[in-house]
Amino acid sequence: MRLSQMFSKTKGAAFMPYVCCGDPNPEFTLKLAKALAQNGADAIELGIPFSDPIADGKSVQAASARALVAGMTPEKAIGIIGKLRKEGIGVPIVAMTYYNIPFSFGEEKFAVELKKAGAQGLIVPDVPIDECGPLSAACRKAGLDLVQLATPNCSDGRLRKIAARTKGFLYAVSVVGITGARGRMDARAIRLVKRAKRMGVKVAAGFGISSPAQAREFEQAGADGVIVGSRLADLYSRFISGKLIGERRALAAASKFAREMKRACLG
Amino acid sequence: MKKYFGKFGGQFVPETLVMALQQLEHSYLTVGKSRKFRQELGRLLRTYAGRPTPLYLAKKLTARGGGAKIYLKREDLLHTGAHKINNAIGQALLAKMSGKRRLIAETGAGQHGVATATAAALLGMECDVYMGSVDIARQAPNVYRMELLGARVIEVASGSRTLKDAINEAMRDYTASFETTHYLIGSALGPHPYPAMVRDFQSVIGKEAKGQFAAAEGGVPDALVACVGGGSNAIGLFFPFLNEKVKMYGVEAGGDGNGHAARLTGKGKPGVLHGMKTYLLEDRHGQIADTHSVSAGLDYPAVGPQHSLFMEQGRVKYAEADDSEALSAFHLLSELEGIVPALESAHAVAFALKLARGMGRGKSIIVNLSGRGDKDVDHVRKIEGER
């Protein structure tokens, strides 16, 4: 399913959880993604771990480090997307990683293989629109949506340019800072969603969102999607020891959280 | 300002920082080029930091080499003990005059952290310094110095727990704090406009050396030698000589022969880290490699983007000195000249000695003695005790 189709058939805001691929092992990622999809996720953002994730806070940094120690690689992550498709997970999958990964892999090859495996989109937070030329071209050619990010400190002119370049949806970064659960949302983040909506694009808010109440706030501001990553990692990582995880309890906690978030996203 | 050096450089940062970096570039081009700023910076460098630094003909070292004359540009004599203060005062003054009240910095060896903490004390600004836990352990005296100067040292325990990770953490801080805070990057690296701005602040080294050499010998030297971690002391010396007929050598850390930090002479390839496209060390999956060098200041998997361009152009030759060569030079310069060099600078001295041997007696080399070795004395004593 394309991202645009998913947004148009979703009531309220889409719930789009972020999962760090391979944390703490590939089998758990498959089970977690499946559990999320069965419990309300409208799309999955799948993180391909990078050694130096500068846009991420402690939770996703730790998740990435665990996944890398356990041997996750870009090739294996692409393989996991293929497996999710084979196992019948139909929701859109958007890969998220840092630029050195596709740059080292070969941008065209990376986009083609992601698409072939079954991904719909790609998010690369350290490539702003001014630097996205080669990656945009590679994604366009492969038929993959390269999602651009906008932030609360973007001027109207800058926001318009980002909205014009983005594919799939516009990622409204809901904090001034890095990822990680926040107790309160910044009023500027809500304003950013409203500003971006006026540009006629689908808008998903993410960074710092951790509770159903916050998701509802964004849904009411007009967001088409809500992305949650750190909070989810915090929930399941309590059950991790080394490469092992208490799967039953971890999946139960994640599923319960997904149902609560989905309910909030319905408005 | 141009964002790229050939195909290297750029501004690969999260969107939040794009506006912050545009503002920084604007401040640099307006406030930073103003007469008031230039005058104040010149005054502080002269009366506070100790510029100009001498250009010293090291006669005994020259005799040991048995070839070209070896001149040392004595950046080690600067306040706080290294060239880092040139850039720290420059950027701190720019931040202060642009209305920022807090400075953050990363540090490896601790020299840049100390320089930033010093500039913050001088200008009455808050200061937080990020430092990897491995570096905190091997550069303990500098940690206390920063605290004495009123800075807070924040330990970074992620990744390889060295300079690379300290930069990650400082960039994360800056992403949330840029409205009141200036990120004072310590080398000629990072997203645009840092590589150009830091190079400009460090170019005072080469400008002085050029005049001093002309007065001492006439003309220009035959070769310049400097160590390259991020590459700021090297580019500071080289830049004013770029259009002269002078050979230039950047010396990377060869480490212990295993996980070394040779990006331009070793297995490096172009990639993207810390906001810039440049040569770097990575594994076959694109994950940034851990490096190892006896000197914390050279322990960095990437290099300033202009050095990547110089390497591809062939304008600068890059070579390496390994841990044991650097340690030998550390002793040699101490014994022969009464100058204890920083371990980083000792890499340059080690290479220069070999270079001088291969050059004729009528030739001259300038080595950038970028820092003094006080910070390394305990560390060297410890590792040599273990051997």
Q: What is the pLDDT of residue B259?
A: 52
H/E element holding B102? strand B102-107
A126 with B13: Cβ contact below 8 A: yes
Residues of B in contact with A130 (CB under 8 A): 11, 18
Name the residue among B122, B98, B88 with its Cα closest to residue B32. B98
Q: Are B192 and B10 in contact (CB under 8 A)?
A: yes
Give the span between the Cα atoms of B8 and A254, in whole angstroms: 43
A98: left (phi over 0), alpha (psi -120 to 50) or beta: beta
Q: Are B155 and B120 in contact (CB under 8 A)?
A: no
- Say how many C-beta atoms besides its own lie within 10 A of residue B214's C-beta: 12
Name the residue among B180, B182, B209 with its Cα closest to residue B194. B182
CA distances from B38 to A48, A56, B178 (A): 46, 38, 24
> In this predicted model, what pLDDT tens digit does every residue of B169-186 receive, in sequence order?
999 999 999 999 999 999
* Partner B contacted by A103 (CB < 8 A): yes
Determine the distance from the C-alpha atom of residue B144 to the mean position of all C-alpha atoms in its chain, rounded to a whole number.
Answer: 21
B171 with A65: Cβ contact below 8 A: no
Q: Are B32 and B39 in contact (CB under 8 A)?
A: no
Residues of A in contact with B193 (CB under 8 A): none
Tell me which residues of chain B have a C-beta less than 8 Å from any C-beta of chain A: 10-16, 18-20, 158-159, 164-165, 168, 171-172, 175-176, 179, 270-275, 282, 285-288
Residue A230: CATH number of its domain: 3.20.20.70
Q: What is the pLDDT of residue B295?
A: 81
Name the residue among B138, B200, B56 with its Cα closest to residue B377. B138
Cross-chain CB nearest to A127 (options B12, B20, B179): B12
A127 with B176: Cβ contact below 8 A: no
Strand order in the sheet with B55-57: B55-57, B69-74, B364-369, B223-227, B247-255, B317-322
- What lies within 8 Å, CB to CB, of A205 at 6+ separation is A172, A174, A189, A193, A218, A223, A225, A226, A227
Name the residue among B304, B295, B253 with its Cα closest to residue B274. B304
Six-digit token pair at B185?
A: 């990057």
Six-digit token pair at B328?
A: 């030998």
The catalytically annotated residue of B69, B96, B100, B106 is B106
Q: What is the pLDDT of residue B387?
A: 65
* Partner B contacted by A21 (CB < 8 A): no
- What lies within 8 Å, CB to CB, of B301 at 6+ separation is B164, B261, B263, B273, B280, B281, B282, B288, B289, B290, B291
Mean pLDDT, residues B337-347? 97
pTM above 0.90, yes or no: yes
CA distances from A244 to A162, B87, B207 (A): 41, 48, 59
ipTM: 0.97
Judging by DSSP bridges, how do beta strands A244-245 and A240-241 pair with one another?
A: antiparallel
In a domain, A92, yes or no: yes
> In this predicted model, what pLDDT tens digit does every residue of B258-289 receive, in sequence order?
656 788 987 899 999 999 999 999 999 999 99
For B152, the 3-state DSSP assignment is strand
Helix axes B194-202, B84-97, angle to 10 degrees: 120
Residues of B in contact with A162 (CB under 8 A): 15
Q: What is the pLDDT of residue B48?
A: 98
Q: Which residue of A has its CA nearest to B268?
A: A104
The catalytically annotated residue of B27, B69, B75, B84 is B84
Give how far B372 is from chain A: nearest CA, Å. Answer: 31
Percent of chain B with pLDDT over 70: 99
Q: What is the pLDDT of residue A265?
A: 97
In a domain, A197, yes or no: yes
Cross-chain CB nearest to A52 (options B10, B11, B168): B168
Q: Which residue of A has its CA nearest to B20?
A: A153
In the structure, what pLDDT confidence band is assigned to residue B257 with cuts at 50, 70 and 90?
low
The residues that bridge with B82 in the sheet, in sequence order, are B371
Give the span between the Cα atoms of B327 and B109, in whole angstroms: 16
Determine the distance from the C-alpha atom of residue B292 to the mean position of all C-alpha atoms in its chain, rounded to a whole number.
Answer: 17
Residues of A in contact with B172 (CB under 8 A): 54-57, 177-178
In a domain, A1, yes or no: no
The catalytically annotated residue of A27, A42, A52, A56 is A56
Number of domains in chain A: 1
A54 with B172: Cβ contact below 8 A: yes
With b meaning 16 or more CB within 10 Å and e meaning fewer, what string describes A155-189? eeebbbbbbeebbbbbbbbbbbbbbbbbeebbeeb
Give how far A76 is from chain B: nearest CA, Å. Answer: 10
Interface test with B, best of A59, A131, A160 (most B CBs within 10 A): A131
Name the residue among A74, A87, A9 with its Cα closest to residue A43. A9
- What lies within 8 Å, CB to CB, of A52 at 6+ separation is A98, A100, B159, B164, B165, B168, B273, B274, B288
Q: Are A49 and A29 in contact (CB under 8 A)?
A: no
Interface test with A, best of B16, B164, B173, B278 (most A CBs within 10 A): B16
For the cut 60, the answer to whether the pLDDT of residue B59 exceeds it is yes
Cross-chain CB nearest to B176 (options A53, A100, A177): A177
* Partner B contacted by A126 (CB < 8 A): yes
Judging by DSSP bridges, how do beta strands B364-369 and B69-74 pair with one another?
A: parallel
Q: What is the mean pLDDT of chain B?
A: 95
Residue entry with tokens 């944390």: A23
Cross-chain CB nearest to B286 (options A65, A105, A125): A105
Q: What is the pLDDT of residue B240?
A: 98
In a domain, A8, yes or no: no
For the cut 70, the answer to whether the pLDDT of residue B362 exceeds it is yes
Active site residue B179: no
Active site residue B155: no
Active site residue B277: no
In a domain, A200, yes or no: yes
* Partner B contacted by A150 (CB < 8 A): yes
Across the A:B interface, residue pairs with CB atoms under 8 Å apart total 105
Range of weakest confidence among B35-49, B132-146, B231-245: B132-146
> In this predicted model, what pLDDT tens digit does every residue of A209-257 receive, in sequence order?
999 999 999 999 999 999 999 999 999 999 999 889 999 999 999 999 9
H/E element holding A14? strand A14-20
* Partner B contacted by A254 (CB < 8 A): no
Name the residue among A24, A16, A69 with its Cα closest to residue A237. A24
* Partner B contacted by A101 (CB < 8 A): yes
Q: Are B166 and B130 in contact (CB under 8 A)?
A: yes
In a domain, A7, yes or no: no
In a domain, A234, yes or no: yes
Cross-chain CB nearest to B14 (options A65, A104, A126): A126
Query: Which structural domain range is residue A223 located in?
Result: 14-265
Judging by DSSP bridges, how do beta strands B247-255 and B317-322 pair with one another?
A: parallel
Give how far A118 is from chain B: nearest CA, Å. Answer: 21
Judging by DSSP bridges, how do beta strands A203-206 and A225-228 pair with one another?
A: parallel
Q: What is the pLDDT of residue A140?
A: 98
Give the span between the Cα atoms of B296 and B133, in whole angstroms: 12
The low-confidence residues of chain A, meaning pLDDT below 70, are none
Six-digit token pair at B180?
A: 């009141």
- Say how many C-beta atoms besides its own lie within 10 A of residue B2's C-beta: 8
Q: What is the pLDDT of residue A136?
A: 98
H/E element holding A46? strand A44-47
Cross-chain CB nearest to A103 (options B14, B271, B274): B271
* Partner B contacted by A70 (CB < 8 A): no
Q: What is the pLDDT of residue A264?
A: 97
Range of weakest confidence among B84-93, B256-265, B327-336: B256-265
Give how far A217 is from chain B: nearest CA, Å. Answer: 22
